[in-house]
Structure 1
Amino acid sequence: MKPPLVLLHGGGPGVDADSNWGGVRSRLSGEFRCLAPDLLGFGTRIAGSAGITGPRAWAAARARQVLDILDDHGLDRVHLVGNSAAGGAAALALASMAPERVDRAVVMGGAGTGPLPAAVPFYDAPTRESMRATLGRLVADEGVHGELLDELTGIRLRQALRPGAEPAFRSMFADVEDGPPPLDLTKIVHPVLALHGECDLVSPVEVSERLVAALPGARLAVVAGAGHWIHVDRPDEFCSLVGEFLSA
């Protein structure tokens, strides 16, 4: 039986699991039983997320969502791959909240542990051009992925303009004083692989370096020539790194 792997997508405007993992899910499915849910606030899960405010509260709510999914599928323990400030933060929150349910975890792009963005992406100018520019910053070289970026722009623009999507997205980056306390990373003892693109324009490599230094069982792999979307820029290397780490 293949080991279960939960793929937790990133947190850009209009994202969903299918568009995030489409290029690598079938390959990972050769080794793992992959589950890829839409996380709260995105895709099919925009409704019902009102009242959650601030990145820590969102990470905790998504961790509880994943626990419910594991229970629904009768899964006691799983591997995680968490992308950036949505999926990566949820993976860390889940490892802290229910350590017995997590085996190994891969987190990408700093897992949301860096500073909040200076401005909320896309929604101050919600146009096709703004979405295309937002997605262009996620890869190392737009020219290599032009056709894919154009396709994703249409998909994610439609989803980002759904009712309720904008207030949910803005609340994910709200700087709040109350809410859940910060995670104590020193208590997350699971084996963790932090992946970071050498050419990441969203989050500098130093964010993952600090994260790995705080996690007792973590190591960092910087992927040469990759931007924030490592799985898009370097899919072969991404799948190899994930497969080898989770199968160790």
Structure 2
Amino acid sequence: MSDVPLVLLHGGGPGVDAVSNWAATIARLPFRCIAPDLLGFGTRITEGPRGPREWAEARAQQVLALLDRDGVEKANLVGNSAAGGAAALALLAAAPHRFGRAVVMGGAGTGPLPVRVPFYDEPTRESMRATLGRLVADESAHRDLLDDLAGLRLDQALRPGAEEAFRSMFAGDPGPPADLTAITTPVLALHGERDRVSPAEVSERLAAALPHGRLGVVAGAGHWIHVDRPDEFRRLVGEFISA
């Protein structure tokens, strides 16, 4: 197991937290993992930032404070989707000397904002289950997981302040979370071939904009690559981080 920890930054769907995002993944990775609840989710529901970039920068400062508190001088990153991926890019821009390599998933929040804010216009268990279903390539392969997560994430999405924080993440400037051309850290941009949330072209553009970016399209995977293709996810992350 590597001495350099791997920071896992969860995605940005309604009601998400670190445990529900990474529970089945951490045991598969050959690294000491740190998986915090990001600002605006789980135990860290808060007000303040407005718009994708402000939230990414605030989460980057949150993670840096966590690493400082725990005495972690250097780490690697995995950032999932629009919350974790964008926070990872903001971290690489803010403190490049603190990170060796990074893997980002699903476009890392660099694509267009959704036309409608997910779930909250119809905050029911059925709506949550449908929202989660779009994250995998084949719902029938993960029916039990999705059913279990729908109840958990519904409860968390309805906590006081959760809706207000979530809606504010889609307001304001929809631009990238950082100056991508200034990020010198090696970054692997993973994208599921069957992603129904964000097309693979978003990660193609992201990888091309990064000075040391690399694209990896995972065949048969949806937005949740780590759920649809867990063994391949483990291999790709392990090989890239350890290179």
Q: TM-score range by the shorter chain?
A: over 0.9
Residue of structure 1 aligned with 2:81, choices 70, 80, 84: 84
Separation of aligned partners in 2, 1:191 and 1:57 = 24
- Match of 1:71, as an amino acid? D
Following the alignment from structure 1 to structure 2, what is the Cα–Cα distance between the partners of residues 54 and 182? 10
State the partner residue of 1:152.
149
For 1:1-248, list aligned pairs within 5 A: 2-28=3-29, 31-46=30-45, 49-176=46-173, 183-248=178-243
Gaps of at least 5 residues in structure 2 are none
- Please, which runs of 5 or more residues in structure 1 have no aligned partner? none
Please state whether the residue corresponding to 2:3 is helix, strand or coil: coil
Counterparts of 1:17 and 1:7, CA distance in 2: 8
**Percent of matched pairs sharing the same residue:** 74
Runs of 4+ deviating beyond 4 Å:
none
Q: Give the alignment's TM-score, normalised by structure 1.
A: 0.95
TM-score (norm 2): 0.97
Q: How many residues align?
A: 242
Q: Secondary structure at the match of 2:156?
A: helix
Provide the C-alpha distance between the structure 1 equivalents of 2:77 and 2:26, rounded to a whole number of angstroms: 13
The answer on whether the counterparts of 2:81 and 2:105 sit within 8 Å (CA) in structure 1 is yes
User: 1:97-135: per-residue Cα shift (whole Å, max 9, x none)?
Assistant: 011111100000000000010000000000000000000
SS in 2 for 1:159: helix
Counterpart contact for 2:56–2:177, Cα < 8 Å: no
What letter is aligned with 1:24?
T
How much does 1:181 deviate?
8.4
- Name the SS for the 1:113 alignment partner: coil
Cα–Cα, structure 1 residues 193 and 182, in superposed 2: closer, same or farther, change >3 Å? closer
Distance 2:31 2:181 in 1: 28
Deviation, 1:175, is 2.7
Distance in 1 of aligned mates of 2:121 and 2:8 = 29
C-alpha displacement of 1:182: 5.5
1:2 deviates by 2.6
What CA distance in whole angstroms lies between the structure 2 residues aligned with 1:131 and 1:140?
17
Q: Is the 8 A contact 2:53 2:173 kept in 1?
A: no
How many Å separate the matches in 1 of 2:185 and 2:49? Answer: 27
